[in-house]
Amino acid sequence: MRLGVVVMVAAGGSGLSACSSVALPEGTGGTTGTNSGIGGGASGIGGGAVGVGGAAIGVGGTPGVGGRTGVGGAPGVGGAPGVGGGAGGSFSGSCTPQHTNPDYAPGGACAPDCQSVSCGLPCTEDCCVTCGIDLLGSKVCTCRNPGGPYSNCSCLAPSDIPPGLLGGPCSPQGYSTATVPVTAPAGSISLRGMPCRQTNIVCFTADSTAASERGCICLADGVMHCGSVNHWFVNSGVPTQWMP
C-alpha cells in the first residue's frame, strides 16, 4: 500500500504559504471476511475505504427430511377349510382321515346304494358314512375279509336320541318320504316336517316293512324327522298319536 506526501512550498516574501498535494494511488480496501462471518481486515490506509465486513453468518444446512412412513405387513391368511367327512365330502366313505375309500365309487360296496351286508358286493376296506333319519347317525361297515362282502354294518343313533324308545304305527298314518309315492292310496300324506306334539315321540310309517323299517321321530324343533329307523326305536304295535 502506497502513501501520499504533502509538500509545503514557500512563496517568496509574502509570508504566505500554500499547501499543494500530490495525489497518490488509492488505498486498497480490507480483505473480505471468511465464510464463517469473520470481519474483514484493517481499514485501508490513505483514502482507501474501510475494509468490507465478512460475509453474513453462515446459512444453516437444509433441514433433514423425515423417513417414509412404514408400511404394515399384509393381513394374515386364514387356514385352509377343513375337509368334510361323511357323504359328499372329499374323502367320502373313509374311516381314515384324509383318505379316499375306493369302495365309495359307484358300483362299490360303500356306495350309497349298497352299504350293507345284504348287498353282498366285495369290499377292500371298512366303510364309514352317515346314515339313518336325516343322516343324523353314523354307520360303520366292517370289511373283515377284503375281497368278500362286509361282515357287519351298524348305524348308531346320535347322542341326542335316547335308546329304548317305543312307538307303533303312526296315527294318523303317512309316509316317511318327502313326497308320497304314486302308488299310495288317495289322500295319503308325507309326515316329514309335520308339526308334532312332544319330543322323542316315535312311530312307524306306511312305507315301513319288517326287512326295512321306516319311521319318524319328533325332535326338539317340534317337527317330524323321518327315514330309515336302523333299530333306533322299537315297534310296540300300538298306534301312536303324533299330532299336536
Output 56 or 217, whichever has higher pLDDT.
217
Reply yes or no on whether the pLDDT at 231 is more than 60: yes
Looking at per-residue confidence, does 44 or 171 come out higher? 171
* Range 154-192 burial, b when 16+ CB lie within 10 A, else e: ebebeeebeeeeebbbbeeebbbbeebeeebeeeeebbb
Q: Is the distance from CB of 207 to CB of 226 less than 8 angstroms?
A: no
- Cell numbers for 21: 498535494
Sign of CA dihedral 226, 228, 229, 232: negative
Q: What residues contact residue 144 under an 8 Å CB cut-off, 6+ apart?
A: 150, 151, 152
φ, ψ for residue 19 (rounded to 5)?
A: -95, 130
Under 8 Å CB-to-CB from 231, ≥6 apart: which residues?
A: 155, 213
Distances (CA, A) of 107 to 18, 111, 119, 147: 146, 6, 11, 14
| 126-135 confidence digits (pLDDT tens) | 999 999 999 9
Quote the pLDDT of residue 92.
87
CA dist list (Å): 235 to 160, 230, 244: 20, 12, 21
What pTM does this model have? 0.59
Q: Of 36-50, 84-98, 139-153, which range is least confident?
A: 36-50
Identify the pLDDT of residue 61: 47
What tens digit of pLDDT does each residue of 177-226 get?
A: 999 999 999 999 999 999 999 999 999 999 999 989 999 999 999 999 99
End-to-end CA distance of the chain: 131
pLDDT, tens digit, 9 for 90 and up, residues 64-100: 454 454 444 444 443 333 333 444 445 689 999 889 8
